[in-house]
C-alpha cells in the first residue's frame, strides 16, 4: 500500500533556508503535493510537481523530486516567522483526486 513518510519536527532560524523532506513508496505516483497547515486551520495547497519533472521553483519555494529514490523535498528560502506551520506532502497515484498524506512536518522558525 501507499506510505508517505516525513520527519515530525524541524527548527530553523529566521532568514535561513528550510528543507522539508518526504519519502513515498508508490512508484506510480503521478502528482506530488505540498500543503501548509497553520494552527487550527485547514490545509492550503502550496505547490505541486508532476512525476515527470525533477524540479519546480515558485518564488521562495523549490520542490525537488528524485524518482529513483522516491524522495521529495520542499526548500523554503529566507524562512520567515509566518512560515511556521505544519507541512504535508501528499501523493496521487491514480491521476484523479485521491491523495495519500504524510504525517506532516512541524516547522518552527526561531526569530
C-alpha cell at 45: 495547497
Query: Interface with other proteins includes 104 (CB under 8 A)?
Result: yes
C-alpha cell at 60: 521562495
Pick from 22, 74, 99, 109 the residue near other proteins by CB under 8 A.
99
Site string for other proteins, 39-68 (x = CB under 8 A): -xxxxxx--x--------------------
Cβ-Cβ contacts under 8 Å for 6 (sequence gap 6 or more):
20, 21, 22, 23, 87, 88, 89, 102, 103, 104, 105
29 secondary structure, DSSP code: -
To the nearest whole angstrom, how small is the minimum distance from the Cβ of residue 19 to other proteins? 19
Task: Tell me how far apart the alpha carbons of residues 15 and 96 are, in angstroms, rounded to a whole number.
Answer: 37
Nearer to other proteins, 45 or 77 (CB): 45
- Binding residue count for other proteins, defined by CB under 8 A: 24
Binding residues for other proteins (CB under 8 A): 4, 8, 30-31, 33, 35, 40-45, 48, 88, 92, 95-99, 101-104
Amino acid at each position: 500500500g501507499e506510505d508517505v513518510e516525513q520527519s515530525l519536527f524541524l527548527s530553523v532560524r529566521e532568514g535561513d533556508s528550510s528543507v522539508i523532506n518526504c519519502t513515498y513508496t508508490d512508484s506510480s505516483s503521478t502528482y506530488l503535493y505540498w500543503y501548509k497547515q497553520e494552527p487550527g486551520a485547514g490545509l492550503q495547497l502550496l505547490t505541486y510537481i508532476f512525476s515527470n519533472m525533477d524540479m519546480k521553483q515558485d518564488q521562495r519555494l523549490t520542490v525537488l523530486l528524485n524518482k529513483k529514490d522516491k524522495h521529495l523535498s520542499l526548500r523554503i528560502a529566507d524562512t520567515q516567522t509566518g512560515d511556521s506551520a505544519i507541512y504535508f506532502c501528499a501523493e496521487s497515484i491514480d491521476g484523479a483526486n485521491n491523495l495519500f498524506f504524510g504525517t506532516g512536518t512541524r516547522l518552527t522558525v526561531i526569530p
